[in-house]
Amino acid sequence: MNVLVAMSGGVDSSVAAALLVEAGHAVTGVTMKLWGGESDTGCCSVSDVDDARRVADRLGIDHHTFAFADDFTARVVEPYAADHAAGRTPNPCIECNRHLKFDRLLARADTLGFDAVATGHHARVSQRGDGTRRVGRGVDAAKDQSYVLHMLDQAQLARVVFPVGGHTKAEVRALAAGRGLRTATKADSQDVCFITSGTGGRGRFLDGRVPLTPGRVVDGRGRQVGRVDAVELVTLGQRRGLGVGGGAAPRYVVDVDPVAATVTVGGVDDLQVDSQRVAAVAWADTPVSGPALVQTSAHGSAAPAVLRVDGDARPGTDVTVQWERPQRRVAPGQSIVFYDGAEVLGGGLAF
Q: What b/e string do you get for 127-149 counting C-beta neighbours within 10 Å, with b at 16 or more?
A: eeeeeebbbbbbbbeebbbbbbb
In this structure, of 30-44, 120-134, 200-214, 215-229, the range with the lowest mean pLDDT score is 30-44
All domains of the chain in start order, with CATH: 2-120+163-178 (3.40.50.620), 211-266 (2.30.30.280), 271-350 (2.40.30.10)
The active-site residue out of 43, 44, 93, 96 is 96
CB contact burial 62-99 (16+ within 10 A = b; e otherwise): ebeebebbebbbebbbebbbebbbebbbbbbbbbbbbb
Which are the contacts of 144, defined by CB distance < 8 A and separation ≥ 6? 122, 123, 137, 138, 299
Please count the CA atoms within 13 angstroms of the CA of 83 that sit on its side-chain side: 21
DSSP characters over 311-345 = TT--TT--EEEEEEEEEEPPPTT-EEEEEETTEEE
Give the H/E segment covering residue 292.
strand 290-295
350 — phi, psi (to 5°)? -70, 145
**Greatest Cα-to-Cα distance within the chain, rounded to the nearest angstrom:** 68
What's the average model confidence in pLDDT over 161-177? 98
Closest CA to 68 of 60, 58, 76, 57: 76
Rg (CA), the chain: 21
Mean pLDDT in residue range 114-137: 96
The residue-averaged pLDDT of 204-213 equals 92
CB distance 268 to 252 below 8 Å: yes
Residue-level pLDDT at 51: 95
Q: Which of 118, 116, 123, 126 is nearest to 166 (CA)?
A: 123
Angle between helix axes 169-178 and 11-22 (nearest 10 degrees) is 60
Scored b (16 or more CB within 10 A) or e, 155-175 reads: ebbebbbbbbbebbbeebbeb
| The 3-state secondary structure of 25-47, one letter per residue | CEEEEEEEECCCCCCCCHHHCHH
The pLDDT tens digits for 26-49 are 999 999 999 876 544 555 667 889
Helix (H, G, I), strand (E, B) or coil at 84: helix
Mean local confidence (pLDDT), 285-311: 94
Give the model's pLDDT for residue 39: 45
Determine whether 193 is an active site residue.
yes
How many angstroms separate the CA atoms of 253 and 350, rounded?
A: 16
Q: What is the mean pLDDT of residues 64-71?
A: 95
Sign of CA dihedral 220, 222, 228, 232: positive
Residue (of 130, 193, 186) closest to 10 by Cα position? 186
Residue 192: the pLDDT is 82
Taking phi first (over 0 means left), then psi (-120 to 50 degrees means alpha), and beta for anything else, what does residue 81 get?
Answer: alpha
180 dihedral zone (left: phi>0; alpha: psi -120 to 50; beta): left
- Average pLDDT of the chain is 93
Model-wide pTM > 0.85: yes
Told to judge if 96 belongs to the known catalytic residues of this protein, a careful annotator would answer yes
